Structure 1
Amino acid sequence: MAGNGGETTWCFSQVKGTLEDDVTEADLISCVEFNHDGELLATGDKGGRVVIFQRDPASKQCVPKKGEYNVYSTFQSHEPEFDYLKSLEIEEKINKIRWLKRKNQAHFLLSTNDKTIKLWKVSERDKRVTGYNTREEGGRPREPARITQLRVPTVRPAELMVEASPRRIFANAHTYHINSISLNSDQETYLSADDLRINLWHLEITDQSFNIVDIKPANMEELTEVITAAEFHPTECNLFVYSSSKGTIRLCDMRAAALCDRHAKLFEEPEDPHARSFFSEIISSISDVKLSNSGRYMMSRDYLGLKVWDLRMETKPVETYPVHEYLRSKLCSLYENDCIFDKFECCWSGDDQRLMTGSYNGFFRVFERGGAATTTTRRSELTLEASRECAARPRQPLRARRVAASAKRKKDEISVDCLDFNKKILHTAWHPHESIIAVAATNNLFIFQDKF
């Protein structure tokens, strides 16, 4: 990997979705998620659709391997609804998708909008049964008088069909908008979180959930923070974390009490009083929290940067990575156009050695861990771009981009005043075993891979 300003070993692999300018709101991608072996990649959009891509078998056989995916299945997961009791429209937008670990030939995933979570079964059918006794080949019932002999139905090959069917619908448990769902390591339970509560579900029970966190005050005027994200520990089924708009992360142990209002650990970085401003509380709000695959570390994303925490040390993060520090001088205008409230996600590489998150202007950041984060070397961070230009250069090394914070800029730098704040990279995902990344840019899904 190269530092900012030169070519990198990251290459463009594919782009999914039309590159046309007339994009409808319903086409905007709202979540991206690889399954546990990386063979499938799912996206959800604001129109309530889920599109599943499957790894191209040929792309795994060539040397070096290619990260190429083909459309596998598309289905409508959620429809727009209306809550007549509250006179409230419920959007069909897919907020999160989470895959279950595969146990048989079928695949299962959870998808959620603001209010309703659904468990989907995605299965293949490449055979058909012929020779029925009681009905014709077209499916019409046969007249009893025409049934003169008994036949043994036969199974014959047929054109492959991928079917997505809803197996469970988990509804009516959240007053506020669902922002997170997370599967437990036991693969039997999962949590769902909204602004003020976290519920625990069993995958087999749709009409009952257990409230495990409730931060709603008796008087809503006393409300000081909301829950922004929640996730189960990858190996310890009794532990989960949730982040808040005040920049804190709480680790809870379900063995301690049925209601986990009292946390086991509180992760919070002390604020520098000299750096405090009107925007301090807004930019310190954590938009995403992700535990590492090993379960030892935790990554949090606030508006301006990434922090890595050791679960054994609550007082301060062990690593800090500025994502777009050059925007600090632009906070006033970002507040006026509401960009300061954008919720960027973050993700770990499969080996926990690299981190990725998004920015503006189609930019996303890849950080390589190692050494003190405060003394970042040229090898340890990259700014890359998901754009039509890189789509025109397949398998060519991407050029690292650089943003000039001041008026003076070098030849290859982009002025901070020229950034397009409508091109937001909010949703990213990393293949669980390989250096393949998926980046959602408006209605397009870009797939990149590291040559090495």
Structure 2
Amino acid sequence: MAGNGGETTWCFSQVKGTLEDDVTEADLISCVEFNHDGELLATGDKGGRVVIFQRDPASKQCVPKKGEYNVYSTFQSHEPEFDYLKSLEIEEKINKIRWLKRKNQAHFLLSTNDKTIKLWKVSERDKRVTGYNTREESGRARDPARITQLRVPTWRPAEPMVEASSRRIFANAHTYHINSISLNSDQETYLSADDLRINLWHLEITDQSFNIVDIKPANMEELTEVITAAEFHPTECNLFVYSSSKGTIRLCDMRAAALCDRHAKLFEEPEDPHARSFFSEIISSISDVKLSNSGRYMMSRDYLGLKVWDLRMETKPVETYPVHEYLRSKLCSLYENDCIFDKFECCWSGDDQRLMTGSYNGFFRVFERACSGGRRGELTLEAARDAAARPRQPLRPRRVATTAKRKKDEISVDCLDFNKKILHTAWHPHESIIAVAATNNLFIFQDKF
């Protein structure tokens, strides 16, 4: 996308998943994540499954390159559980996936549901052992009476096979539902956050974690806010941020104290008293926070928009992007159908120059930052089935009518489908390839150029 005030160069690349109207709850995608080099793309769903896609080698050799992915591995990460002490069902839904940086031939990733975090190893096998003494090549046990000599088993080439194996299970450390996991830049520790606490883990130790943030009051009736998201700084291993339902973001330094109950910085935009309403507190709640790849900026997503903060300036955001301001007049009905509590995620492009987040009606927004002093570009695109019929063709920008007078190419606010919500998006770390989860489908788009 060029910085031209919103003209699109994005085009459809692929869609993964069935395009049927009958979709089971278990098939709904609940998270999307590229690995560090963008060669793999993982999705988690409400059925506890993780599906990993691998970049098609041929698509990288094309001119221009194509962003095409094939299924690499599918495995069941979490199963439904039952907490007998609290008489609560624990859903298998995958809340977050985070990739570890690759150190050898295998890939490692963390996945979590509401209570349990797992470390998975995903590896390829292209050899098999033959020449067993106690069993046949088919696996059937041999008659001991027929074993007359000992053999040394050998490795033989075999059909390549991808297998996922659980290497660590980090459990029993969260009383409330886990909403975030984030790997530290040291690649040895990670944090996990629930509504009231943030824990620090070592990847090699499963039976203990350190509580680094605890906002639970002595009397729960005095509770005024909850933690909504948390993330480590991309390069400074002692820094992390966490956001709250009150619209604040706290930057904490683990060098200051073992329990980071005192923040180093507090990022909060003062509220306009004239604009205050019954819904003010709900729509100011931050659903996602992401630090830029450079570590200088931070992006937060509330219900109606995106804000970009400079870590060196706490008083107000340096950039504000309205995502769907036209919904402000619909807040009452959105409250009644619970849509106002939807948690939209956001993501940075690899060069930190563009931002992406989702909306309703299958729409998602791409913003180009005006860092170079040029015009700021913004675009509304749609993850829709008809895009699949026009591969490599530029996507048509969508517009929502904000007044009663509707233009030909605009859609009325009253016609938006609030069941088609884009909550989860991901951006390739080095290229203009984006992944958008729409119900049970994963759409992949790329810059035409």
Structure 1 length normalisation: TM-score? 0.96
The 8 Å contact of residues 194 and 227 in structure 1, kept in 2 or not, is answered as yes
1:182–1:251 distance in 2 versus 1, CA, 3 Å: same
- For structure 1, which segment, 373-382 or 200-209, has the greater mean C-alpha deviation from structure 2 after superposition? 373-382
Q: Distance in 2 between matches of 1:434 and 1:97?
A: 21
User: What is the Cα deviation at residue 406 of structure 1?
Assistant: 1.2
| Deviation per residue, 1:3-52 (Å, 9 max, x gap) | 99986210000000001000011110000000001010000000111100
1:285–1:185 distance in 2 versus 1, CA, 3 Å: same
Q: Distance in 2 between matches of 1:68 and 1:348?
A: 20
Q: Distance in 2 between matches of 1:5 and 1:269?
A: 27
1:442–1:378 distance in 2 versus 1, CA, 3 Å: farther
Specify the SS of the correspondent of 1:397.
coil
Specify the SS of the correspondent of 2:31.
strand
User: What is the Cα deviation at residue 150 of structure 1?
Assistant: 3.8
The 8 Å contact of residues 197 and 214 in structure 2, kept in 1 or not, is answered as yes
The 8 Å contact of residues 5 and 377 in structure 2, kept in 1 or not, is answered as no
The 8 Å contact of residues 29 and 442 in structure 1, kept in 2 or not, is answered as yes
User: What is the Cα deviation at residue 154 of structure 1?
Assistant: 2.9
Specify the SS of the correspondent of 2:142.
coil
The 8 Å contact of residues 7 and 397 in structure 1, kept in 2 or not, is answered as no
1:4–1:94 distance in 2 versus 1, CA, 3 Å: farther
5+ long unaligned stretches in structure 1: none
* Count of residues paired in the alignment: 449
Q: Distance in 2 between matches of 1:37 and 1:417?
A: 41
| Deviation per residue, 1:382-439 (Å, 9 max, x gap) | 0000001111111110001111111111111111111100000000000000000000
Partner residue of 1:247? 247
Specify the SS of the correspondent of 1:328.
helix
The 8 Å contact of residues 5 and 402 in structure 1, kept in 2 or not, is answered as no
The 8 Å contact of residues 183 and 232 in structure 1, kept in 2 or not, is answered as yes
Q: Distance in 2 between matches of 1:200 and 1:399?
A: 45
The 8 Å contact of residues 106 and 121 in structure 1, kept in 2 or not, is answered as yes
Specify the SS of the correspondent of 1:389.
helix
- For structure 1, which segment, 155-164 or 376-385, has the greater mean C-alpha deviation from structure 2 after superposition? 376-385
Partner residue of 2:93? 93
User: What is the Cα deviation at residue 120 of structure 1?
Assistant: 0.7
User: What is the Cα deviation at residue 144 of structure 1?
Assistant: 4.0
Q: Distance in 1 between matches of 2:138 and 2:125?
A: 18
The 8 Å contact of residues 4 and 377 in structure 2, kept in 1 or not, is answered as no
Identity of aligned residues (%): 96
The 8 Å contact of residues 268 and 315 in structure 1, kept in 2 or not, is answered as yes
The 8 Å contact of residues 283 and 303 in structure 1, kept in 2 or not, is answered as yes
The 8 Å contact of residues 7 and 398 in structure 1, kept in 2 or not, is answered as no
Partner residue of 2:430? 433
The 8 Å contact of residues 6 and 378 in structure 2, kept in 1 or not, is answered as no
- Quick check: 1:20 aligned with 2:17? no
User: What is the Cα deviation at residue 133 of structure 1?
Assistant: 2.9
The 8 Å contact of residues 403 and 416 in structure 1, kept in 2 or not, is answered as yes
1:156–1:61 distance in 2 versus 1, CA, 3 Å: same
The 8 Å contact of residues 289 and 298 in structure 2, kept in 1 or not, is answered as yes
User: What is the Cα deviation at residue 351 of structure 1?
Assistant: 0.5
| Deviation per residue, 1:319-355 (Å, 9 max, x gap) | 1100001111111111111110000000000000000
Specify the SS of the correspondent of 1:235.
coil
1:345–1:6 distance in 2 versus 1, CA, 3 Å: closer
User: What is the Cα deviation at residue 143 of structure 1?
Assistant: 3.7
The 8 Å contact of residues 182 and 232 in structure 2, kept in 1 or not, is answered as yes
The 8 Å contact of residues 4 and 381 in structure 1, kept in 2 or not, is answered as no
Specify the SS of the correspondent of 2:128.
strand
The 8 Å contact of residues 2 and 382 in structure 1, kept in 2 or not, is answered as no
- Quick check: 1:80 aligned with 2:89? no
- For structure 1, which segment, 21-30 or 148-157, has the greater mean C-alpha deviation from structure 2 after superposition? 148-157
The 8 Å contact of residues 46 and 92 in structure 1, kept in 2 or not, is answered as yes
1:358–1:63 distance in 2 versus 1, CA, 3 Å: same
User: What is the Cα deviation at residue 57 of structure 1?
Assistant: 0.6
The 8 Å contact of residues 243 and 249 in structure 1, kept in 2 or not, is answered as yes
Question: Please, what is the CA RMSD of the aligned residues?
Answer: 1.8
Specify the SS of the correspondent of 1:60.
helix
Specify the SS of the correspondent of 1:333.
helix
Specify the SS of the correspondent of 1:251.
strand
5+ long unaligned stretches in structure 2: none
| Deviation per residue, 1:283-339 (Å, 9 max, x gap) | 000000000000000000000000000001000001110000111111111111111
Q: Distance in 2 between matches of 1:333 and 1:374?
A: 37
The 8 Å contact of residues 30 and 94 in structure 1, kept in 2 or not, is answered as yes
- Quick check: 1:113 aligned with 2:139? no
1:6–1:271 distance in 2 versus 1, CA, 3 Å: closer
1:3–1:432 distance in 2 versus 1, CA, 3 Å: closer
Specify the SS of the correspondent of 1:331.
helix
The 8 Å contact of residues 3 and 382 in structure 1, kept in 2 or not, is answered as no
1:343–1:336 distance in 2 versus 1, CA, 3 Å: same
- For structure 1, which segment, 124-133 or 24-33, has the greater mean C-alpha deviation from structure 2 after superposition? 124-133
Structure 2 length normalisation: TM-score? 0.97
1:121–1:429 distance in 2 versus 1, CA, 3 Å: same
- Quick check: 1:408 aligned with 2:405? yes
Q: Distance in 2 between matches of 1:145 and 1:431?
A: 59
- For structure 1, which segment, 231-240 or 132-141, has the greater mean C-alpha deviation from structure 2 after superposition? 132-141
| Deviation per residue, 1:38-70 (Å, 9 max, x gap) | 010000000111100010111011111000001
Give the one of 371, 374, 394 matched to 1:374.
371
Partner residue of 2:283? 283
Q: Distance in 2 between matches of 1:154 and 1:408?
A: 76
The 8 Å contact of residues 67 and 444 in structure 2, kept in 1 or not, is answered as yes
Q: Distance in 2 between matches of 1:367 and 1:73?
A: 33
1:223–1:376 distance in 2 versus 1, CA, 3 Å: farther
Specify the SS of the correspondent of 2:234.
coil
1:188–1:6 distance in 2 versus 1, CA, 3 Å: closer
